[in-house]
Amino acid sequence: MLLKKISKPLTTVAVLALPLLLASCGTSSGTHSDTKTSGEAAQVKPQKKPNILFILSDDHRWDLIGKYHPIIKTPNLDKLANQGTVFKNAFVTTPICATSRISILTSLTERTHDFTFRRPATGLAESNSAYPKVLKDNGYNTAFVGKYEIKLSGPDESRFDFFKPLLQAKTVEYKGQELPQTYYIAELAKEFIQQNQGGEKPWVMAVNFWDPHAHDRDQELQYHYPEEFESYYQDITIPPAKFSQDDTFAKLPQFLQESIGHVRWKYRFGTEAIYQKMVKRHYRAISGVDKAIGKIYQELEKQGMADNTVIIYAGDNGYSMNERQLAGKWFGWEEDLRIPLIIYDPRNAKTKGKEHNEIALNIDIAPTILALADVKAPESYQGSSLTPILNGESPDTWRQEFFFEHMYQPKRVSIPPTVGIRTQQWKYVDFYKHDFQQLYDLVNDPEEQHNLAYSAQHQATLKELSQRTDQYIAKYEAQRSEEVKQRKSYINQRN
């Protein structure tokens, strides 16, 4: 019996039209001629392609940016948001770091690339379609700095000219000085920028911060940050998280009550004192990342690159912080799926200070980066370039829904797998290994308080969304490469 899920396919914006869209931004690589008095045509040198800086933080949920939050301080992200474009409805297709990062690189859903923790390397076809490889093959210098924690097939040098993967650490020695790892990552990024000063080639760099991810083995402190932020938020009382009362937790099914989400909740948010302590530490870690971003931007200005460098900022998944007495991600609620997504293009006045409500996904990042570089995206990509939206268009064919899932099933802890679909009005989630479904009316119940899956009057909607989820599963599995198809998937499909 088929797993479950899909409906009308997600629409991909035609890549062939992008050069025309980008031409108005000064990114076209075409040439033209001037007619001189001698009758000779003089070729005009093409404008230099943009540098592209993609910054990713770990476990940074969508609402924790100072511009939109009453407590947290992120002045550098605020500047990017004020000078660039904010996608207010940005989501991941799988809310866990390793899988989401492969999806970001390859523009493929987990159902297609079939990668998560403790899995073989992503297939060669998928790895060769990763946007750094595509850009390197098209004349870009490429770099990766920071958290990697994924496995791609083929040599790293085929994708990256500058490759500095890092395991999580509190501090790292750099030039004889012990630095917070967040600042160390910024220094490595600055080194790559310095190496490319005055270079002939454009560059693309992925800077992946570990923070604000918890140090899982440090249950007492969990979140770490540069010492200078110790005083931040000390005199503030953090408001309660929604649905954090005992009676709300008591209504959850037993498998969720016993999941790793509640196990970790006990030492992250389990009492009021712990909640205040840990949330403030998490906020400080985000403020530390923000400071590191400022350091990188200052280097761009110093090297004269700021005006030709597009900056994209995103989180790799959402993060539950005491909602429903859970911690982490994984489960499919808005706090798990939603991420910050900011694109700042100093060359394009149309993007300044804009906010867009179209559904944007982590699988849109790779095609967007390639479109900004005026490079054709691989046909395998499942995401869509966001450049038409950046240029002020409202494509009629833009997606109105998306499929999400979480396939990871570790043996040592309980993380229930999910599949689901989110439309403009509805959220459907199937915990298919536990025979439990959720249905939320996002228009009338945006906080997802009332599960309508077992309401008699909503059974038609439940059935329709379940069938559409099955269709997405069938579609995305059919798009697997032969290499991935030939190895047995590590889970039984939804039955």
Q: What is the pLDDT of residues 176-225, one digit of tens each?
A: 999 999 999 999 999 999 999 988 899 999 999 999 999 999 999 999 99
Average confidence (pLDDT) over 31-35: 33
Sorting pLDDT into bands at 50, 70 and 90, what band is 120? Answer: confident
Q: pLDDT by residue (tens digit) across 332-351?
A: 999 999 999 999 999 999 99
Q: Write the pLDDT tens digit of every residue in 235-252.
A: 999 999 999 999 999 999
Q: Determine the pLDDT at residue 413.
A: 76
Q: What is the mean pLDDT of the chain?
A: 90
Spatial CA neighbour of 204 closest among 315, 309, 299? 309
Question: What single-letter DSSP state applies at residue 362?
Answer: G
Burial class, 164, CB count within 10 angstroms (exposed 0-12 / middle 13-18 / buried 19+): middle
Q: What percentage of the chain exceeds 90 in pLDDT? A: 84
DSSP state letter for 84:
S
- Which CATH number goes with the domain that contains 209? 3.40.720.10
The residues, any chain, with a CB within 8 Å of residue 177's CB and separated by 6 or more, are none
Q: What is the pLDDT of residue 411?
A: 75
Task: Please indicate whether residue 486 or residue 441 has the higher confidence score (pLDDT).
Answer: 441
pLDDT at 487: 79
Q: Is residue 418 part of a domain?
A: no
pLDDT above 60 for 23 = no
> Do the beta carbons of residue 4 and residue 462 sit within 8 Å?
no
CA distance 331 to 320: 9
Band of pLDDT at residue 309, cut at 50, 70 and 90: very high
Domain contains 236: yes
pLDDT over 80 (residue 28)? no
Query: Is residue 49 scored above 80 in pLDDT?
Result: yes
Residue 211: the pLDDT is 98
- Mean pLDDT computed over 276-296: 98
Give me the pLDDT at residue 358, please: 97
Give the per-residue pLDDT at 489: 64
Look at residue 291 and tell me if it is in a domain. Answer: yes
Asked if residue 162 is part of any domain, the answer here is yes
pTM of the predicted protein model = 0.89
Residue appearing with tokens 């159902």: 111
Give the DSSP H or E segment for 41: strand 41-43
* 489 in a structural domain: no
| Residue 347 falls inside a structural domain | yes
Band (pLDDT 50/70/90 cuts) for residue 48 is confident
Containing 261, the helix (H) or strand (E) segment is helix 260-268
Mean pLDDT for 86-99 is: 97
Domain ranges, residue 124 = 15-19+48-393
Helix 272-302 with 75-83: angle, nearest 10 deg? 60
Which residues are CB-contacts of 95 (< 8 A; sequence separation ≥ 6)? 317, 318, 329, 330, 331, 332, 336, 337, 404, 406
3 state SS of 379: coil
Strands 418-423 and 401-406, how do they pair?
antiparallel
**What's residue 84's pLDDT?**
98
Q: What is the pLDDT of residues 392-425, one digit of tens each?
A: 988 889 999 999 999 987 777 789 999 999 999 9
Is residue 53 a part of any domain in this protein? yes
Q: Is residue 63 part of a domain?
A: yes
pLDDT of residue 494: 61
* pLDDT at residue 278 tops 80: yes
Pick from 105, 68, 108: which is nearest to 88 by CA?
Answer: 68
pLDDT value at position 34?
Answer: 35
pLDDT at 429 over 90: yes
Rounded to a whole number of angstroms, the CA Rg of the chain reads 23
**Structural domain count, the chain:** 1
Residue 246, both tokens = 């005992």
Q: What is the mean pLDDT of residues 127-146?
A: 98
